[in-house]
Structure 1
Amino acid sequence: MAAGAPAGDGGAAALQQLAGRYATGYRSVSVMAYDILKDAILSGALLPGQKLRQETLAELIGVSRLPVRSALIQLEADGLVEFHDRRGAVVKSLSVAQAEEVYNIRVLLEVEALRLTMAELTDARVARLRQLGKVADTKQEGAEFVDARTEFYGELYDADKRPVLWEMIEQLRLKVGRYVLGWRLVGDAEHSHTHGQLIEAVASGDVDRATGVLRDHLIGVRDAVLELLEAEAAVEVVPPRPSM
């Protein structure tokens, strides 16, 4: 199943496909289950509000229930899954107000992170950003897209030197990532922004210019996401989402 189109089988085919892709190279089955489920949520194979049955997920992925349970707990910490007393685990939905708050906080944190980076900017970092930006702009979907963007912004915000700030930014990015990176991609808000545009602003050494490009991008995506969520909230009859 291509990213961008939720399946009528509740994402079963996509999960099996992801399980095959992730079947090798993992030391921990729990980490593999986590990556598969995160990818499925971010790509839209698993929909917001969809119930996640541990037995079904374990069968589709080809593991026991324990690593699935562990993965769901980690995804809850990431803000992608939530547990209910009676319904169990479900893919977390995001309200309009919550999305707006997330993006407003992201603007504050990411602009500050970029200011700190530019105060210590080196030619080597700019060269690395150019390389990572080209890779990120060629990835269109799924885990590769997410990983490429994460590596780019980790370098841009100097994640190794500022791990706490980076962790806060990543947590917020995950909360809204599925609305931008997967089947809920909003218009051209994300694709109109190339990493090269931001890199050139950073390379110029003009802090105001660079942070302005970053701020405008985040606000543009925020407004597009809010428009989508408001349109969905206005729909009076929503078809039931299949359980997984």
Structure 2
Amino acid sequence: MSAQNAAPSVGDGGAAALQQLAGRHATGYRSVGVMVYDILKDAILSGALLPGQKLRQETLAELIGVSRLPVRSALIQLEADGLVEFHERRGAVVKSLSPAQAAEVYDIRLLLEVEALRLTMAELTDERVARLRELGKAADRQQEGADFVDARTEFYSELYDAANRPVLWEMIEQLRLKVGRYVLGWRLVGDAEHSHTHEQLIEAVASRDVERAVGVLRDHLVGVREAVLELLEAEAADAGGPAPRVRSPR
């Protein structure tokens, strides 16, 4: 039986983490549905809910303290985000990512994010550089959890001018979410992440040297890509057999 066919449901550790997240998200929301979505997304990105884990709506509703309807709606939205998948017989599970899929995500991210950075550099202002410095320092102060995810998202949305290029930003953010659990939440590729600070990228952007800035961004994405692939290949081997190595194009 494959690891996915034997997908576990929410265990004691996941249950405790969900309840803790529910307590943190208990106030300040315009709707129960948005709150439930944020709780479940944080649980997946933090590793409280693992790839392949079965997501029983009634169990999740009880742990969070809501009815099943907002849970169902949140799971459908998370499916659109690429974090959850539905199976006809087993219901919703946390989506797994193969090494080949992760490699493809990073290949596409490289194309989109390099183009987004080039567009930003063509219209760069001193005000934007100052804002990036402020957001970069805030992001580097965060180390884990939802605050870390939010801080990085805010930094990159400014860097890629999400307000004026919402379609491009949405595509980038969707791809970032697909691998977010391995980088933003679990922090299992810490060496690759900690070797990159936002300050390094900001200084390259502030220099107005486009190729320098693109080089810093590219090196970072390729480095994290390799670390994520190593992690996924190790998981695949533990699950029943070595996965073929997916090499990074240079």
| TM-score range for the pair, normalised by the shorter chain length | over 0.9
The one-letter code of the counterpart of 2:15 is A
Residue deviations 1:113-137, cap 9 Å, x none? 0000000000000000000000000
Confirm or deny: 8 A CA contact 2:60 2:71 kept in the other structure: yes
Separation in structure 1 between the aligned mates of residue 240 and residue 214 of structure 2, nearest angstrom: 41
Q: Mind listing any 5+ residue stretches in structure 1 that lack a counterpart?
A: 1-6, 239-244
Identify the match of residue 177 of structure 1 among 174, 180, 190.
Answer: 180
Identify the match of residue 103 of structure 1 among 80, 103, 106.
Answer: 106
Separation in structure 1 between the aligned mates of residue 239 and residue 205 of structure 2, nearest angstrom: 45
Moved over 6 A (4+): none
> Does 2:14 match 1:11?
yes
**Shift in Å at residue 234 of structure 1?**
1.2
Residue deviations 1:73-93, cap 9 Å, x none? 000000000000011000000
Change (3 A) 1:36 1:229: same
Q: What is residue 242 of structure 1 aligned with on the other side?
A: none
Confirm or deny: 8 A CA contact 1:44 1:184 kept in the other structure: no
> Does 2:46 match 1:60?
no
Q: What is residue 163 of structure 1 aligned with on the other side?
A: 166
Confirm or deny: 8 A CA contact 1:46 1:91 kept in the other structure: yes
Confirm or deny: 8 A CA contact 1:18 1:36 kept in the other structure: yes
Separation in structure 1 between the aligned mates of residue 11 and residue 30 of structure 2, nearest angstrom: 33
Identify the match of residue 76 of structure 2 among 73, 76, 86.
Answer: 73
Q: Mind listing any 5+ residue stretches in structure 2 that lack a counterpart?
A: 1-9, 242-250
Identify the match of residue 134 of structure 2 among 117, 131, 134.
Answer: 131
The one-letter code of the counterpart of 2:207 is S
CA RMSD of aligned residues (A): 1.3
Separation in structure 2 between the aligned mates of residue 57 and residue 236 of structure 1, nearest angstrom: 26
The one-letter code of the counterpart of 2:192 is A
Change (3 A) 1:232 1:171: same
- Range 92-101 or range 187-196, more displaced: 187-196
Separation in structure 1 between the aligned mates of residue 159 and residue 187 of structure 2, nearest angstrom: 26
Residue deviations 1:207-229, cap 9 Å, x none? 00000000000000001100111
Confirm or deny: 8 A CA contact 1:110 1:169 kept in the other structure: yes
Q: What is residue 241 of structure 1 aligned with on the other side?
A: none
Separation in structure 1 between the aligned mates of residue 140 and residue 108 of structure 2, nearest angstrom: 25
Higher RCO, 1 vs 2 (CA within 8 Å, ≥6 residues apart): 1
> Does 2:39 match 1:31?
no
